[in-house]
DNA sequence: CCGGATCCGCTGAGATACTG
DNA sequence: CAGTATCTCAGCGGATCCGG
């Protein structure tokens, strides 16, 4: 498990396990990676890179390592030339699928309402008692 | 809406609305704040501070402002001495309640499995084809 | 009582160049 | 093909001091 994840789990044990989820799933490309692996089953490093909007190899590597360290994905290295590395969801990673779906749904809803709300300026947020 | 939120909404319109949710809900104390407001209905600044584990006033203020800018909470200022400021969920903020619940549920699950997994070291993540 | 202004340290995204 | 090694740069969380 990543140090960051561990810190959050142990320091916040009280009220806010939601922060744990965000710590694990929040990170550039991570929701996309998990969703793609859920859809495709198994993907190679290069395939993931192309399916996402071409993140730097450095960045993609780091996200994948973090997801691996946090136990969400499984990395399989085939020692051959040229090298071949496959990624797939772990059981834990697969268990996040419904949550990812909800995140997407609410995100879509939010983006929609905010695009409209840009027009109507409501400034009734001050009351005089 | 915050600049950051707007950026994410417009740059990532494609695949990953989950990142929008995380951008909006992810931030120190934010899930807790939203959950507390959901439970209590209306809370004053000081009450929130005490219910959370006493974040710096500065920090709490910033989180509340961001949530307000993103349209999730409503801030009501009573112009009196001493000042009084109340916070409550907007409709949009209330709509995130189920999502927050799922985040918490999965976070709890995750924290549980990881605490056990610390013992069993599985290193079957290399195959030779 | 509820903040605003200011400064700081860290982490995390991204770019660039190189390697088994 | 699938990375690693360095670097930079921005942003957030946090602390401290001041203000209406």
Task: Evaluate whether A19 touches A8 at the Cβ level (below 8 Å).
Answer: yes
Q: Give how many domains chain B has, as a whole number.
A: 1
Mean pLDDT of the B88-96 span: 97
Domain membership flag for residue A57 = yes
Report the distance from CA of residue B60 to the C1' of nucleotide D13 in Å, as an integer. 10
Domain membership flag for residue B39 = yes
**Phi, psi for B41 (deg, rounded to 5):** 85, -75
Domain membership flag for residue B81 = yes
Q: Which domain holds residue A43?
A: 3-95
Average pLDDT score, chain A: 88
Report the distance from CA of residue B52 to the C1' of nucleotide D1 in Å, as an integer. 49
Average pLDDT score, chain B: 87
More confident residue, B3 or A21: A21
What is the tens place of the pLDDT at every residue in A66-121?
A: 999 999 999 999 999 899 999 999 999 999 999 999 999 999 999 999 877 655 54
User: Does the nearest atom of strand D lie within 7 Å of B22's Cβ?
Assistant: no
Domain membership flag for residue B73 = yes
Q: What is the pLDDT of residue B121?
A: 47
Backbone dihedral region for residue A41 (phi beyond 0: left; psi -120 to 50: alpha; all else: beta):
left
Domain membership flag for residue A124 = no
pLDDT above 90 coverage of chain A, percent: 71
Determine the distance in angstroms separating the CA of B35 from the nearest CA of chain A, rounded to an integer: 9
Domain membership flag for residue B43 = yes
**A42 has which bridge partners?**
A88
- Chain A residues with CB under 8 Å of B107 CB are 16-22, 24
pLDDT above 70 coverage of chain B, percent: 87
pLDDT of A15 strictly over 70: no
Q: How many CA atoms lie within 13 A of A5 on its CB side?
A: 25
Domain membership flag for residue B35 = yes
Quick one: pLDDT band at residue B38, thresholds 50, 70, 90? very high
Quick one: pLDDT band at residue A124, thresholds 50, 70, 90? very low
pLDDT of B70 strictly over 60: yes
Q: What is the pLDDT of residue B15?
A: 59
Domain membership flag for residue B123 = no
User: Does the nearest atom of strand C lie within 7 Å of B82's Cβ?
Assistant: yes
Quick one: pLDDT band at residue B120, thresholds 50, 70, 90? low
Q: What is the pLDDT of residue A119?
A: 53
Output the pTM of the full model.
Answer: 0.87
pLDDT of B83 strictly over 60: yes
Please state whether beta strands B73-78 and A126-127 pair in parallel, antiparallel, or not at all (unpaired): parallel
pLDDT of A58 strictly over 60: yes
Can you give the CATH number for the domain in which B47 is found?
Answer: 1.10.10.10
Whether A125 sits inside 8 A of B76 (CB atoms) is yes
């Amino acid at each position: 498990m990543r140090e960051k994840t561990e810190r959050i789990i142990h320091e916040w044990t009280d009220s806010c396990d939601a922060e744990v989820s965000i710590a694990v799933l929040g990170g550039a490309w991570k929701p996309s990676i998990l969703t793609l692996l859920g859809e495709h089953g198994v993907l190679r490093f290069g395939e993931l890179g192309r399916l996402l909007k071409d993140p730097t190899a450095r960045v993609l590597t780091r996200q994948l390592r973090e997801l691996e360290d946090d136990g969400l994905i499984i990395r399989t290295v085939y020692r051959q030339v040229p090298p071949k590395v496959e990624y797939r969801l772990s059981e834990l990673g697969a268990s996040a699928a419904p949550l990812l779906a909800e995140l997407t749904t609410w995100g879509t809803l939010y983006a929609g309402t905010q695009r409209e709300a840009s027009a109507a300026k409501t400034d009734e947020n001050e009351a005089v008692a």
